Amino acid sequence: MRRWIAGAVIALGAAGPALAEGEEAAVCAEAEERYVEMFGAPSSEADGVRVVKMYEYTFCPREITVKVGETVRWVNVDKRTSHSVIVKGEPESDRAFPEEHIEFTFMVPGPPEDYLCGPHWERRGMIGVVTVVE
């Protein structure tokens, strides 16, 4: 487990989906199946955190809205690839290898902002969007 808590939001430019809408939905459905295989329950049943799966160079879901003080858990459900998370004003997280996760608690409200996977955002378009509300 990797735990990373801070209070910032990110502003790195407009995120564009790495996949077409239909492809993204299929990849995210597969990511949820992998999550259930790995952990024995749907990601919606995680213990008090918002789960975002990292799979096939995609954040699933790509866009989320969280409340101030809410924790996001990015879970790597890939078979061989490691991922990280970069949030504005914070150092890049450690890499999460398959079945590991990274957590971040958002403490500052703000408009939609991008976050990204350090090794895969530029060439693979692995960018997500988070909106933090009161």
Residue 8, domain CATH: 2.60.40.420
- Bridge partners (DSSP) listed for residue 79: none
Strands across the sheet containing 63-67 = 63-67, 127-133, 110-116
Domain that holds residue 40: 2-133
| pLDDT band (50, 70, 90) for residue 4 | very low
Note the pLDDT of residue 18: 56
Res 1 pLDDT > 50: no
The DSSP string of the chain is -EE--------------SS-HHHHHHHHHHHHHHHHHHHSS-GGGSSSSEEEEEETTEEESSEEEEETTPEEEEEE--SS--B--B-TTSPPPPPB-TT-EEEEE--S-EEEEEEE-TTTHHHH--EEEEEEE-
- Number of domains present in the structure of the chain: 1
Q: Considering the chain, what is the average pLDDT of its residues?
A: 87
Tens-digit pLDDT profile for residues 89-117:
789 999 999 999 999 999 999 999 999 99
Predicted TM-score (pTM) of this structure: 0.84
Tens-digit pLDDT profile for residues 42-66:
999 998 999 999 999 999 999 999 9
Q: Among candidates 44, 67, 43, 68, which has minimal Cα distance to 55?
A: 43
